[in-house]
């Protein structure tokens, strides 16, 4: 129930929602997944004849789950108005994500102070291969 409540409170909707499912959440970490379906419009123009998921969208999925969704849980932001601001991002890519693949996202809390959540984590593709390692921070402005 908590996982669906978090998803319902994310400030994103399709086509810019990059979290399908939250698999686990606690005070220290969050795990989830998202599938990049083959019909997503950006594939038609990203690397012609060899479509590949743009890295910036993989970073966005990491930020939405690891930063915003985990922050909603940790700060009890259910049904509250807030604006998240993701910053201080650092990431390294190791593999591609192809159309139709799911990514599995893992993020852990490094610190939480004054509505400022610092995180680190990884993204793996459908084959379990490491796609990206990242760190970042999410500041929550409560309205």
Find the angle CA(12)-CA(54)-CA(88) to the nearest 5 degrees: 65
**Cβ–Cβ contacts within 10 Å for residue 128, how many?**
7
Q: Provide the pLDDT for residue 1.
A: 64
Q: Provide the pLDDT for residue 47.
A: 87
Q: Provide the pLDDT for residue 126.
A: 92
Q: Provide the pLDDT for residue 136.
A: 97
Region of 132 on the Ramachandran plot (φ > 0 left; ψ -120 to 50 alpha; else beta): beta
Please state the length of the chain.
143
Annotated catalytic, 70?
Answer: no
Q: What confidence category does residue 10 fall into, taking pLDDT thresholds of 50, 70 and 90?
A: very high
Q: Is residue 108 within 8 Å of residue 121, measured between CB atoms?
A: yes
Q: What confidence category does residue 60 fall into, taking pLDDT thresholds of 50, 70 and 90?
A: very high
Q: What confidence category does residue 135 fall into, taking pLDDT thresholds of 50, 70 and 90?
A: very high
Q: Which of 46, 70, 104, 124 is catalytic?
A: 46
Give per-residue pLDDT as tens, 11-59: 999 999 999 999 999 999 999 999 999 999 999 888 888 999 999 999 9
Averaged pLDDT score across all residues of the chain = 96
Q: Provide the pLDDT for residue 80.
A: 92
Q: Class of 2-131 per CATH?
A: alpha beta
Q: Provide the pLDDT for residue 121.
A: 98
Domain boundaries of the chain, sorted by first residue:
2-131
Q: Provide the pLDDT for residue 63.
A: 97
């Amino acid at each position: 129930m908590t996982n669906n409540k978090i998803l319902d409170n994310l400030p994103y909707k399709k086509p810019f929602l990059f979290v399908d499912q939250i698999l686990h959440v606690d005070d220290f970490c969050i795990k989830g997944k998202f599938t990049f379906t083959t019909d997503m419009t950006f594939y038609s123009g990203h690397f012609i004849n060899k479509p590949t998921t743009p890295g910036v969208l993989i970073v966005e999925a990491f930020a939405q789950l690891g930063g915003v969704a985990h922050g909603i849980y940790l700060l009890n932001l259910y049904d509250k108005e807030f604006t998240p601001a993701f910053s201080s991002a650092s990431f390294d890519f190791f593999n591609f994500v192809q159309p139709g693949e799911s990514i599995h996202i893992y993020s852990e809390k490094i610190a939480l102070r004054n509505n400022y959540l610092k995180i680190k984590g990884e993204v793996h593709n459908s084959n379990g291969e490491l796609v990206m390692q990242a760190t970042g921070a999410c500041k929550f402005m409560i309205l």
